[in-house]
Structure formats: structure tokens, C-alpha cells
Amino acid sequence: MGPTHCAIALLFAAACSNPETVPNDGGAGESGTSDAAVDAGSVVDAAADAPVDATKTFCSTVDASFCADFDQYPYIMTLDAFGQGDASLVTTSFVSPPQSAHFWAPAGKNGAFTGQGVQGVGTHLQVELDLMLSTSGLTTPVELLRFSVSQSGSTRNFEYVITSAAAELDVGVFADGGIGPTQPVPATLPPLGAWTHVTFDADCVQNGTVSLAFDGTTAVTYTGDLSLPGGNATANFGFNADAQDAQDALSVSVEAYLDDVVIRLTP
């Protein structure tokens, strides 16, 4: 991970049936994977899974711009993979029963990812999720988590990038299309092999603060001019189990479970 690198903000092609949520390709924009390259067999439609009483799921109790507990429609996210990667719903491990999302990417040019966006009025982004990550000896940078807020062509982009030895939050203040250099901020690594509650908070104002925490312990914080021009906003969340650079291959396998994703975009 160099001192600066170019990053591309998440783009959204169309709106979902819910006008305040839009689909997100998670890591495809960064990895350079086109839709044609995605293994169609790895795309999961959670709505087709076994019936679950949606009135009793985790998300039925949450007030948020978007929520996904991977248990039943409409509390879903699209899961994607490429190469020999796999993304699927499983019942073997979860935080809220009966399901979670499972991601598996063996060493090589393989990957699995998901993402979601919401639209609204506001510049304060909060994301909560439960994550269980397993990898060892990882030398290829992986953009594990991505968050952004965009208004009127300007984007504030935050990418949490890890190897087994180090982690950083790459902060990007982009205008006119969302491309530009980022500022790396040293961070601590996430716990491995156990469910961890992840909280992200970004206040995109002139003297705004961004923070990322695992189980309540701060992994990184940054304060700077994150102000946006105003207007309707789009907020993005992405999870990636693949190499940050499309030219790279994973040095070792990466496995992860994801559950109970909550996104809030507020003034």
C-alpha cells in the first residue's frame, strides 16, 4: 500500500424498486471486473430462499435507510463473485438466525463481493455490520470495506485496506466524477476467526470526523475538510474479498461471513 493511489468511487447504474436504495457492485469498480466476467452462478437472489417470517427478522426491528440480515426479502443484498470465488447464503454461522452471507476467495485472481447504496438528504453516514474474517499470511492488499457519500458530482470516499501485516483507511476527497489521490491513515487490523461488530461513522462537513471501530474499539479516526456542495446525496457501502488492484492476485485465500448490515444516511 503506497502513500497515495488512485481510487474510483462507487457508481450506481439504476435505482431499485425502493426509490431510496440503489444497487451497488461492492468491489467491481475497483477490481476492474465487468459484469460479463462475473460468474452468474455466484449471484445470489436471497428472495428465492426458503421462507422466513420477515416480521421476526433482525431488520424488522431496525429503523434505518437500509438493512440486510440475509434472511428474507426485502432484507437482502446481491452477492457476486468472479473466477473461482463464491458468494452465497449459509446457515452454518450467523449473528441473527437463520442465515448470513458467506464469501470465499481462493488464492489467485478470484474474488467475492457485495455492496449497497442509499439515496436521501444528508451528509452523515453511519454503517453497522457483523463480520467474521479468516485469512493468514495475506500480502496482497485487500480493500475489505468501502464507504462513500456523494453530492452534486463530489464524493467523499473511505476505503479500509488490509494485509495480514497492516491496515489503513484511504481517505479520498473527489470532485467531477470521483477520481483522485487518497490520503492513507494508519489503522489497526480487524479481529480474525470470530464474529466482530463493525461500526463506521462519517460526518461529511467542513471539520468532519471519520471513525471505524471493531467491537467498540477504535481502529482508525480522521478529521479534515469533508464538506460536500449540497443537494440530494447517495451513500455507498461495499465489502470485498479480492485484490485491491485488478492486476494483482490474492496471495492466500480470504474467507468471510457478513450479517446484519445497517446503513443510515441522515442530515
Q: What angle do CA 109, 113, 115 make, to 5 degrees?
A: 150
pLDDT for residue 53 is more than 70: no
Band (pLDDT 50/70/90 cuts) for residue 231 is confident
pLDDT for residue 9 is more than 70: no
- Plot region of 260 (φ>0 → left; ψ -120 to 50 → alpha; else → beta): left
pLDDT for residue 98 is more than 60: yes
Mean pLDDT of the residues in the chain: 84
pLDDT of residue 178: 58
What is the separation of C-alpha 176 from the centre of its chain, rounded to a whole number of angstroms? 23
Residue range 24-51, pLDDT digits in tens: 544 443 443 333 333 333 334 443 444 5
Residue range 168-212, pLDDT digits in tens: 999 999 886 656 788 999 999 999 999 999 999 999 999 999 999
pLDDT of residue 30: 41
Residue range 104-116, pLDDT digits in tens: 999 999 999 999 9
Q: Which of 207, 227, 213, 137 is nearest to 169 (CA)?
A: 213
Q: Which of 158, 162, 222 is nearest to 191 (CA)?
A: 162
How far is Cα 135 from Cα 133, in angstroms, rounded to an integer? Answer: 7
In the block, residue with C-alpha cell 468501502? 146
Going from the N-terminus, what domains does the chain have, and what CATH number goes with each?
21-266 (2.60.120.200)
Supply the Cα-derived Rg of the chain in whole angstroms: 17
Which helix (H) or strand (E) segment holds residue 30: the answer is helix 28-31
In the block, residue with C-alpha cell 475538510? 225
How far is Cα 241 from Cα 95, in angstroms, rounded to an integer? Answer: 20
pLDDT of residue 4: 34
pLDDT of residue 48: 41
pLDDT of residue 175: 81
Q: Are 23 and 16 in contact (CB under 8 A)?
A: yes
DSSP, residue by residue, 188-245? PPPP-SS-EEEEEEEE-STTEEEEEEETTEEEEEEEE------SSEEEEEEEEESBSS
pLDDT of residue 72: 84
The fraction of the chain above a pLDDT of 70, given in percent, is: 78
Which helix (H) or strand (E) segment holds residue 150: the answer is strand 142-151
What is the rounded average pLDDT of the residues 48-62? 69
The fraction of the chain above a pLDDT of 90, given in percent, is: 70
Predicted structure pTM score: 0.81
pLDDT for residue 12 is more than 50: no
What is the rounded average pLDDT of the residues 40-65? 63
pLDDT of residue 25: 44
pLDDT for residue 126 is more than 80: yes
How far is Cα 218 from Cα 244, in angstroms, rounded to an integer? Answer: 23
